[in-house]
């Protein structure tokens, strides 16, 4: 079975993050600019939390808060579940399903090295299935 490492190899080596004092508006602007749906909240090299589009919808819009005056620390998800590069892809999918989350920060040697999303996992599984189908076609044809 494939691991998080195999997904991370195919992703850019950049981690988008903001600090806890960043306004929700600034975080949303960065998310829009980078076409991403989640940001890590970092203080130096320490992971403080994660902020997602879902957090925005549930903790800003539905509670009548203003994104320009609300700091990320007020609405971020603290202590997010993290995985390592050796974690099995199936296990990550199970975690995401059970916990109703779509993003998992990746930790290696006590530091954040990236983040995987449910979209990354689905893309990986589809590629894996395509490889299996191609292998079976070649086997049958030979």
Task: Give Cα 54 distance to the centre of its chain.
Answer: 13
Stated as kind and residue range, the H or E segment containing 78 is strand 77-78
Residue 37, pLDDT above cutoff 90? yes
Which tokens sit at 135? 């292998």
Cβ neighbours of residue 125 closer than 8 Å, sequence gap 6 or more: 89, 93
Which tokens sit at 87? 């974690």
Domains of the chain with bracketed CATH: 4-141 (3.10.580.10)
Distance CA 46, CA 13 (A): 18
Report the phi/psi class of residue 64: left, alpha or beta, with left for phi > 0 and alpha for psi in -120 to 50.
left
Which tokens sit at 7? 């997904």
Q: Give tens-digit pLDDT for 42-93.
A: 999 999 999 999 999 999 988 889 999 999 999 999 999 999 999 999 999 9
Q: Give tens-digit pLDDT for 108-142.
A: 998 999 999 999 999 988 988 888 888 888 889 88
pLDDT band at residue 21, thresholds of 50, 70 and 90? Answer: very high
pLDDT at residue 82, rounded to an integer? 97
Indicate the SS3 state at residue 57: helix
Q: How many residues are listed for the chain in this entry?
A: 142
């Amino acid at each position: 079975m494939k691991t998080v490492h195999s997904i991370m190899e195919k992703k850019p080596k950049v981690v988008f993050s903001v600090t806890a004092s960043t306004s929700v508006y600034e975080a949303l602007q960065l998310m829009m600019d980078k076409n991403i749906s989640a940001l890590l909240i970092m203080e130096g090299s320490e992971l403080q939390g994660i902020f997602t589009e879902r957090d925005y919808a549930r903790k800003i819009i539905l509670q009548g808060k203003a994104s320009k005056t609300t700091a990320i620390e007020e609405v971020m998800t603290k202590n997010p579940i993290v995985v390592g590069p050796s974690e099995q892809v199936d296990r990550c999918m199970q975690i995401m399903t059970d916990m109703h989350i779509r993003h998992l920060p990746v930790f290696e040697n006590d530091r954040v090295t990236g983040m995987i999303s449910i979209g990354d996992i689905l893309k990986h599984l589809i590629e894996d299935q395509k490889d299996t189908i191609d292998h079976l076609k070649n086997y049958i044809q030979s």
